[in-house]
């Protein structure tokens, strides 16, 4: 999938960066972190919107399919996902989301010109993002009573998920990427840690990744230090593992075939 995405972006002159654990894997392992379970890609806002337009015209029935935030109630995500339609993956969310293997594709947006301004601007986005995600959380026995109660309460507002997704996207895009000293993946899991200096992103640079090369920030060391601290240190075994809760994976069955059968 990443080979296809890389070639697609080059063909359409779209800039991208691998982010988070994918970039960490490229720098530290020259490929996947052995216990990682996904790929994260970010694009400056203009490239992100152009990618949506280009990938949105991919014919139905193709191997890869782009899903935008307003199409995705099951995950409630606020960014795009690129699916392999020839596979089936079920994630353990409130709605037991059935899709294919995917790559997460995030917009990278401007957020401010000083650290203080950036943190202040991000707070409103963070509150709205957190509420959107809690509406699709599943209840957990190990979670406290009060947190589970908050999850149940949030479900009263599930119906407004699409309007919230649009508002949050507009809020993230409200500051031009090229006019801000600080930018970031404002929808990512690492929150404020993913707000970095735009100069660290710079012109995308190629990094080795398994049997290919992928684009990442020009100053990967500064980016990775901001997000992970001492990123070169391998975590102890007890702290290794993916961050997702997957229920089922089938690499040979198209998830769309199941949806079609259900409709019939």
Q: Are 52 and 80 in contact (CB under 8 A)?
A: yes
For the chain, where are the alpha helices, taking DSSP H only?
Answer: 2-11, 20-28, 45-55, 115-134, 145-154, 161-172, 198-201, 220-228, 255-263
Question: Which residue segment(s) compose the domain that 18 sits in?
Answer: 2-263
**pLDDT tens across 38-49, in order?**
999 999 999 999
Helix (H) or strand (E) holding 206: strand 205-209
**pTM of the complete model:** 0.91
Strands 64-67, 40-44: pairing is unpaired
Give residue 86's pLDDT.
96
Give residue 94's pLDDT.
83
Give residue 264's pLDDT.
45
By C-alpha distance, which of 41, 42, 40, 21 is closest to 32? 21
Q: How many domains does the chain have?
A: 1
Give residue 258's pLDDT.
65
Report, as ranges of residue numbers, the positions in the chain whose pLDDT lies below 70: 258-264
| DSSP states of 11-24 | HTT---EE-HHHHH
């Amino acid at each position: 999938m990443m080979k296809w995405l890389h070639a697609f972006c080059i063909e359409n002159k779209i800039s991208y960066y691998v982010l988070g654990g994918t970039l960490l894997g490229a720098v530290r392992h020259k490929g996947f972190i052995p216990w990682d379970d996904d790929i994260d890609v970010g694009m400056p806002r203009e490239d992100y919107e152009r990618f949506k337009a280009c990938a949105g015209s991919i014919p139905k029935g193709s191997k890869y399919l782009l899903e935008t935030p307003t199409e995705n109630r099951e995950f409630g995500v606020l960014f795009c996902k690129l699916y392999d339609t020839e596979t089936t993956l079920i994630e353990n969310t409130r709605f037991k989301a059935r899709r294919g293997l995917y790559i997460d594709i995030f917009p990278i947006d401007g957020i401010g010109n000083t650290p203080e301004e950036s943190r202040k601007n991000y707070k409103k986005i963070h509150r709205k993002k957190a509420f959107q995600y809690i509406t699709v959380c599943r209840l957990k026995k190990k979670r406290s009573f009060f947190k589970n109660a908050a999850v149940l309460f949030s479900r009263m507002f599930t119906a407004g998920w699409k309007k919230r997704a649009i508002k949050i996207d507009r809020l993230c895009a409200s500051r031009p990427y090229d006019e801000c000293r600080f930018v970031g993946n404002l929808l990512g899991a690492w929150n404020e840690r993913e707000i970095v200096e735009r100069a660290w992103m710079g012109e995308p640079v190629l990094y080795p990744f398994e049997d290919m090369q992928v684009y990442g920030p020009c100053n990967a060391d500064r980016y990775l230090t901001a997000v992970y601290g001492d990123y070169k240190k391998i975590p102890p075994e007890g702290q290794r593992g993916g961050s997702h809760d997957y229920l089922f994976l089938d690499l040979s069955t198209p998830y769309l075939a199941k949806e079609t059968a259900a409709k019939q």
